[in-house]
Each structure stands twice: as C-alpha cells, then as structure tokens.
Amino acid sequence: MSRLVIRQFKSAIGEKHAAKETLASIGLRRPGNVVVREDSPTLRGQIRKIAHLVEIRADRRAGDVVVEDERRAAPPPKRAAVATTATGRRRHGKPVPAAPGTES
C-alpha cells in the first residue's frame, strides 16, 4: 500500500472532542506536526473527520512524487547596504538613509 504524509496546519482549539481524539489517534499534537501512515480505509475515514485541520500528501519516498511547498531552511535574502548621513544614526540607533545624489 502507499503511504500518506499528514501535516496538521490548524489548531484543534475550539474543535469538538471527537476531532481532538482523532488527531491524537493519528499522532498529531500541534500545528506543524507531521506523521507518515500507511494508507487504509480506516485512516481515510479519520482524515475525512479532520480534513479541515490537516494537509495530506503522498509519501515522496514511495516513488517520484514531488512534495510541493516543502519548507526548507533557506538563507535569508541579502540586504543592500544603507548609506548614512554625516550624523550617522538617529536617537534610536537606526541608520539614516542618505539623500539621493549625496555620498557619505
């Protein structure tokens, strides 16, 4: 059988007791948790009950399935250097951008 990757993306706060128990039986505790389970009719029934709280994807290790929107630690974008005026900084410590056409 195939495997399913189940990720909880919404909190169970305010949900009915049965939905909370279903999440717990699958193994999800809080938003962001991910579990991998074998696909079965029982699991499909549980997922139907909590479909508004979880995302389901096919396990990419089972074949050439691509998991879209997978979050990876990406390097932060590079920022341009901010030119400062003659005084350099404001009272709160942030750099003061230079006026266009002037160099410091």
**Within a domain: residue 50?**
yes
**Within a domain: residue 20?**
yes
Distance CA 10, CA 55 (A): 9
**Within a domain: residue 13?**
yes
Q: Amino acid identity, residue 80? A: A
**Within a domain: residue 38?**
yes
Please report where in the chains the tokens 């999800």 appear, as a residue: 28
**Within a domain: residue 93?**
no
Q: Amino acid identity, residue 22? A: T
**Within a domain: residue 104?**
no
Q: What is the pLDDT of residue 69?
A: 46
Residue 21 above 70 pLDDT? yes
Query: Which residues neighbour 89 within 8 Å (Cβ) at sequence distance 6 or greater?
Result: 95, 96
**Within a domain: residue 74?**
no
**Within a domain: residue 49?**
yes
Q: Model confidence over 80-102: pLDDT tens digits?
A: 665 545 555 556 666 666 667 66
Q: Give the total number of structural domains in the chain.
A: 1
Beta strand 54-58 with 95-97 is unpaired
Q: Amino acid identity, residue 97? A: P
**The domain containing residue 20 runs over which residues?**
3-62
Q: Model confidence over 51-86: pLDDT tens digits?
A: 999 999 887 775 544 444 445 555 666 666 655 455
Distance CA 33, CA 27 (A): 9
Q: Identify the CATH number of the domain in which residue 18 sits.
A: 3.30.1390.20
Distance CA 2, CA 41 (A): 12
